[in-house]
Chain A
Amino acid sequence: MSQPAPEDPGVRNAHEAELLTRELERRLEWLSQADEAEFGHFGRLDWWICAALFFVIPILVVWWAA
């Protein structure tokens, strides 16, 4: 395969492609193995609050007020 012109902004050269792939794999490994606490907590109580306040109760209010 011929090499693209070095100044062509639309095509990555081999070095960029390899660098990007290595960086992607590094991030995927980190994200796969990261401690869940790093991303904050969203537990069962949060789910109950969201489902009740933002789905169930609004629909019930609409039916009740009709």
Chain B
Amino acid sequence: MGGLSARSDAAAASTPRHEAGAPNHTPEEAAFIRQESLFGRLPLLPWEREYGHAGAHTMCFAYAVATWCFMVGGFIAKYTGAVEGLICVLAGSVAGTFVVTMAPALACQRYGLEQIDYCRSAFGPHGNRVILIFYVINQVGWNGLLLVMFGNAVRNVLRGFGYDPGTWVVGLGVTAGLWFTYLLVTRGVHLLNVSNAYIGPGLAILTVFMFGMLIHEHGWQEIASAKPLAPFANRWFNYVFVFELSMAGGIGWWGGIGFLTRNTKKRRAAVYPELLQLGFAMGLVTCVSLFSSLVMRTSDPTEWMIPIGGVWMGVLALLFVAMANVSSAAVATYTCGLALRHLRMLRARPWWHLVIWSLVPCVPFILWPGELYSYGTSYLAYNGTLYAPLGGVLFADFVFLRRQRLNIYAIFDDHPSTEYYYTRGFNWPALVCTALGMGIYLFLLDPITYESHALFRYVTASLPATLVPGVVYWAWMRPRVARAAAAARASAGEPQRLLRPNI
């Protein structure tokens, strides 16, 4: 963190003393605490948070709209046409986002918690580390795919100018994207918020402009009648598969929910922007990509905007890609850095160390961008495999078992006597139910080969992988949570202290 001997943070120096720390703190101590709240796991108090309603909408939109929308739209164009795709994409995107948003959004907003800290109530301190591993893989994977798309966009624009430098320029684009992301993230949430205040509306305008160009050039009739690129033989399977991919896209937001909502001031600002932007807006932009893929045979805007509007239109699209991807990669990297604070060896490291640790795993994407990018559809399905059951377990835990109340002391205390320590740090019902959900998903749909069970066409894979673990977990944990609640009522009024703080 830099320690108390570091120069006072200018932001902390200008922050009223009661907001930065207890009234008797020195300026250096207040700056230290401010750094811990911005770049560490200290629960955020309401006056420290960045986002009201407008800010949350802007931030969520900037996070949601990146070229992953175009990647997903391109995948979906293989299996379905425009009208069916529009319905399935919008419905799947909002339904998947709903499943993974409600519980973490409300919990992290109410208690100012980082995402992995919140999961402790269901998984225990050591069970949490299992979740942490998958969480980091998720964030790193999306970052890598985003930056490869940025590198591809750079190459396409150079081709538009008549240069074809080869695939190495994609790796160069990934490197540049990593550097921009590092610069943005190391400057803190406030800069992210300021940059997204411009990037969000800019992305919205560019998206509408691109859609307008598409309609002007091809017309809705041509788009609506375009055939999918490489559908499966069974039409019904194509339809459900697209709905499943779209839900997986919404479910994949799980990793970013806590970071966004921890920084919101009011509950509705924590929920509605997430559902509307991460779910609905993302679905709309995905549909723009779906339409372009169907008629232009490519989802990459830097490819299809050049034939329509010339090279400078491709440059405009590249600008869009750069803004969209770097802002989204910055949010993903920020959340990853915060999550890595759970590792003892990184707990007290300076923030820039955590950012480096979050970005270094993306280095393979510099060296093998095409090879890793080809796993994009399977990676999308992987999100559903893990996060669907995770969403179900956490939903049941926070909403139904705990009635939206957490024992926040138990989250930051590693003493075995605390409520969330469970069995040697593992809450086996949560882990078993998550594994059950993953098994259900893989039984219904193989995300690598796309082979499916007959049931998949009626129930999808994500829905049962969410609902079944949630119900089983609720039934399994109900007696234990009831006992803990009774014990809490019995000891109400007694002062609480941290016996073994884990921060």
Contacts and interface: CB of A to CB of B under 8 A. Distances in A.
B3 A24 contact: no
Contact of A54 (B97, B265, B266): B97
B98 A21 contact: no
Contacts of B91: 58-59, 61-62
A19 B33 contact: yes
Given A31-B112, A32-B408, A42-B271, A13 B503 contact: no
Contacts of B4: 15-16, 19
Interface in A30-56: 30-32, 38-42, 46, 50-51, 53-55
Given A9-B3, A16-B3, A54 B95 contact: yes
B43 A28 contact: yes
Interface of A is mostly: helix
Q: Most B CB atoms within 10 A — which of A13, A29, A41, A59?
A: A59
Given A16-B32, A31-B112, A65-B87, A39 B46 contact: yes
A62 B88 contact: yes
Interface in A1-35: 6-7, 9-13, 15-16, 19-32
A13 to B, nearest CB: 7
Nearest to B87: A65
Contact of A66 (B99, B236, B463): B236
B33 A23 contact: yes
B184 to A, nearest CB: 22
Contacts of B2: 9
B75 interface: no
A50 B243 CA distance: 19
A55 B88 CA distance: 13
Contact of A9 (B1, B46, B267): B1
Contacts of B46: 38-39
Contacts, number: 130
A28 B41 CA distance: 12
Contact of B496 (A12, A23, A28): A28
Contacts of A23: 21-22, 33, 36, 42
Contacts of A38: 46
A50 B497 contact: no
Nearest to A11: B348
26 contacts: A9-B348, A9-B350, A10-B345, A12-B3, A16-B4, A19-B4, A20-B36, A23-B36, A24-B42, A25-B498, A27-B42, A27-B43, A28-B496, A31-B408, A32-B409, A32-B496, A38-B46, A39-B46, A40-B268, A42-B267, A42-B271, A46-B268, A54-B97, A55-B94, A58-B91, A62-B243
Interface of A: 6-7, 9-13, 15-16, 19-32, 38-42, 46, 50-51, 53-55, 58-59, 61-62, 65-66
Interface of B: 1-5, 21-22, 29, 32-33, 36, 42-43, 45-46, 84, 87-88, 90-92, 94-95, 97-99, 102, 106, 109-112, 236, 239, 243, 265-269, 271-272, 275, 279, 345, 348-350, 353, 408-409, 412, 463, 496-498, 501, 503
Closest 8 CB pairs of A and B: A40-B266, A58-B91, A42-B267, A54-B98, A40-B267, A55-B98, A12-B348, A54-B94
